Structure 1
Amino acid sequence: MTDDDSPWGARGISVTIKFGKGYEEPWVVFRGTAGQIKTDMLDAFGLDAGEYAAFSLSELIINVRNSAQATGTLRKELGGQVIRPGSGAKPVAPAPGQDVWADAGSAPPAQAPSVEDILGKEIDAAAGRTALKTLYGENKATFDASEVLMAAYKAKGKSLPAGS
């Protein structure tokens, strides 16, 4: 299809690609025929014309818009920046505690104790059989599902004096 055969013809159209939702976010406007806009969009976003040759203008607009908005999100929400290869530019260091790649090598955060660990400590701390039975009654399903807890429960019960 040539520009003359397109539904827009020589009248020209306008396409706006926004890098975010807000008015303060950057945007780029393309004007011209469908073919001109397609060429300009491919150039502006550094896309391979051969790879997008079969795309309609609307399909290209959707892909470019998605790319632009993803770039805007990376910049705004995650502090990303564009660095051209060979430019010699150095990335700006993220704020302390916000570099997920640096944090990836550090020790994992301490895991919360498991339910078994918590109940195991409560079994050990039980002062009498009544308190132990109450603990069991409140957590019966967990005790019944854990051989470790049941063994600790029975051992603690045997170690406590009767009637306590």
Structure 2
Amino acid sequence: METSVTIKYGKSYDDTWAVFKGTSAEIRANILEFFGMDPATQQGLSLSSVVINATNIAHGKGLIATALGATVVEETATNAEPTKPTSDPWAAASASRESASVATAKADPNAYILGEIEKKTTVQELKKLWAENQSFFSDATVMAAWKAKGKSLQGA
């Protein structure tokens, strides 16, 4: 059974349209390719859900183009990270520091919040940190560090 799907980049009749015709499988593959969508992120979704995701992409691009006057530049898909200059000692030092902090974060999932607790200089800042980061405070180590910092700030 042949189906037709039209995706518009905006609400106006004059806005760009993309029309896809064929079987559901053909339309799905064509939409994913046309909009540069990663098939893995759309796996398990119905065709109507894929159409909604593609429509959101189209509307976003259309809005950026009309509201901001933007134009599309070359689209390249690469998973490679940009290389950091090795001849620059400042860049090399920065890269090694970044690697160390990533390794620390992987070794201790609470490293970030424990560091933030240590940085606070007032009880009010400490309370705000707690209010904005509730998910971290279910860990006993984090809660103990938070309480200890609060006591030390109250005594200061």
Short-chain TM bin: 0.3 to 0.5
State the TM-score, normalizing by the size of structure 2. 0.47
Q: What is the TM-score normalised by the length of structure 1?
A: 0.45
